Amino acid sequence: MKKLCEEARAEICRMQKGTVDPMSESNSKKYEIDMCNGPLLGKILIFYIPLMLSGVLQLLFNAADIAVVGRFAGNESLAAVGSTGSLTNLIVNLFMGLSVGANVLVARFYGAGHKKDLKETVQTAVATAVIGGIILVFVGFFAAKPALALMATPENVIDHSVLYMRIYFAGMPFMMAYNFGSAVLRAVGDTRRPLYYLMIAGVVNVVLNLIFVILFNMGVAGVATATVISQAISAVLVVRCLIRTDGVYRLELKGLKIRPDKLLRMIQIGVPAGLQGSLFSISNVLIQSSVNSFGSIAMAGNTAGSNVEGFVYTSMNAFHQAAISFAGQNYGAMKYKRVGKVLLICEGLVIFVGLAMGNAAYFFAGHILKIYSTDPEVISYGVLRMSYICVTYFICGMMDVIVGVLRGMGCSIMPMLVSLTGACLFRVVWIYTIFQQVRTLSCLYLSYPISWVLTFCVHLICFAVVYRKLLRSRDLKEDAPFSAEEIQENA
């Protein structure tokens, strides 16, 4: 971490002095990772650490919102900010899934050395991000109030929730631009520069949170505005990086347009991932609605607990992203046996991180939750949630890693169907059956670990069958690539 901070400071100083082009090819190369040759463990960790820290910084945006609003604007405002999370994910995830498609395509073309296809994919990805972000601005504005009402958001909370959500969605073009841009950089192994940009944006976010809420008494509007401004900063920096690099993934604005063939392939890979995320969010919306029925104090505790869990999940999810990029590049380079090695290494690492961080978060839950609220009842509700989820969270990480490898190979529909059945559908059924008989938060939270175990087992079986069929169909030869269509047929 210290080394990364020193590199970030040096990078900023060079940019300010103008003595070195920070995005020159020679400078850009040092950020890239050769995923197709040599030992994998060290390279995966080099890829993982900045990506994990980037995810943590993104969570700190929301954590700063929640902590500041909870301490200085009250429990109702805290509940309002937290109650929008699952609904926001429901709306955004479909578009964000396309960034997964962009990541896979860029990694594949980069590994295969197809420069023209890579450039067209980058241009299509950025154009899609801009258009998708603009669409989401209007969707969020008009859908906020009716959707929150359907979630049974309490009357003393809903107006604050609507205001927060509408301002937050005004920043969607920036959020989309950053996520698509960083997906391109991840695909070539660069996870450090997105981290540097988030460091800058994160400091701005925290400072503006304090100014808007404490000095100007803006409440939820203040934290939402601070988040939008910080997202704009990170988006400008990552797009600037893509424009100024001399690497093969350079973004040329004059060629910025959507190529139908590249968009179609992004859709084939990304839309199932996005649908999975959106439909997952339906189950989370139902769970949030069930939590809402216990009142604003339970909502506040649930919000605080889920926010802490987010740091554990993000630390594990970085291995999911690593699996996508490493599997994608090796797939493109026709080194299929390394794909299996990527899976084994990422699974081992995610188990270790998930167990360590999940149990640590639960052990110190009582102290950590005081950051969000000093109300003992709010803290008790947060600890209850974490007792069911944090300790078993590593299983969710294992599930995500398998999905990441499958997506890196271009197989997206099968993991989507498995995940939706094993997790989303299961939770919905649980809410309308088991939970109706035992209406307690403990019963509600128990649906999470059970769904992870079921889904992981099915994913593991599917991967084993698909991978063996692929290798057998080519007689263990690695002299020709498998197409996405072949993978889907075997799946």
The domain limits of the chain are 29-484
Type of residue found at 466: V
Q: Are 222 and 228 in contact (CB under 8 A)?
A: no
Distance CA 475, CA 477 (A): 5
Cβ–Cβ contacts within 10 Å for residue 402, how many? 24
46: exposed, middle or buried (Cβ count in 10 Å: 0-12, 13-18, 19+)? middle
SS3 167: helix
Closest CA to 78 of 427, 362, 331, 377: 377
- Interhelix angle 115-150/85-112, rounded to 10 degrees, is 170
Cβ–Cβ contacts within 10 Å for residue 89, how many? 17
Residues 6+ apart with CB under 8 A from 249: 106, 110, 118, 119, 122, 184, 185, 187, 188, 242
Q: What letter does residue 216 receive in the DSSP assignment?
A: T
Distance CA 422, CA 426 (A): 6
Take residue 136 and report the two structure tokens written for it.
Answer: 């989401």
> Left (φ > 0), alpha (ψ -120 to 50) or beta: where does 276 sit?
alpha
Closest CA to 116 of 210, 4, 252: 252
pTM for the structure as a whole: 0.75
Number of H helices, E strands in the chain: 21, 0
Cβ–Cβ contacts within 10 Å for residue 183, how many? 29
Helix ranges restricted to H, 73-171: 75-83, 85-112, 115-150, 155-170
- Interhelix angle 75-83/155-170, rounded to 10 degrees, is 50
Q: What is the dihedral of CA 395, 396, 397, 403, to 10 degrees?
A: 120
pLDDT value of position 123? 92
Residues 6+ apart with CB under 8 A from 2: none
Q: What letter does residue 188 receive in the DSSP assignment?
A: T
Q: Cα-atom radius of gyration of the chain, to the nearest Å? A: 22
Neighbouring C-alpha atoms within 13 Å toward the C-beta of 164: 26
Find the distance separating the first CA and the last CA of the chain, reported in whole Å: 41
Closest CA to 324 of 189, 465, 197, 195: 189
For residue 103, the surrounding DSSP H or E stretch is helix 85-112
Return per-residue pLDDT of the chain as tens, 491 residues.
555 555 545 544 544 444 434 334 445 667 788 888 889 999 999 999 998 888 887 777 666 667 777 777 777 777 777 777 767 777 777 777 788 888 888 988 888 788 889 899 999 999 999 999 999 999 888 988 898 888 777 778 888 888 988 999 999 999 999 989 998 998 888 888 988 998 898 889 889 988 998 888 888 888 889 989 999 999 999 999 999 888 888 888 887 888 888 889 888 888 887 777 766 767 777 787 888 888 888 888 888 888 888 889 989 999 998 999 898 888 777 788 888 899 999 999 999 999 999 999 999 988 888 887 888 888 898 899 998 899 899 999 999 999 999 888 878 888 888 888 887 888 888 988 998 898 888 888 898 899 999 999 999 888 888 788 767 765 544 444 444 444 444 44
For residue 389, the surrounding DSSP H or E stretch is helix 376-389
Q: Are 111 and 328 in contact (CB under 8 A)?
A: yes
Whether the CA torsion 477, 480, 484, 486 is positive or negative: it is: negative
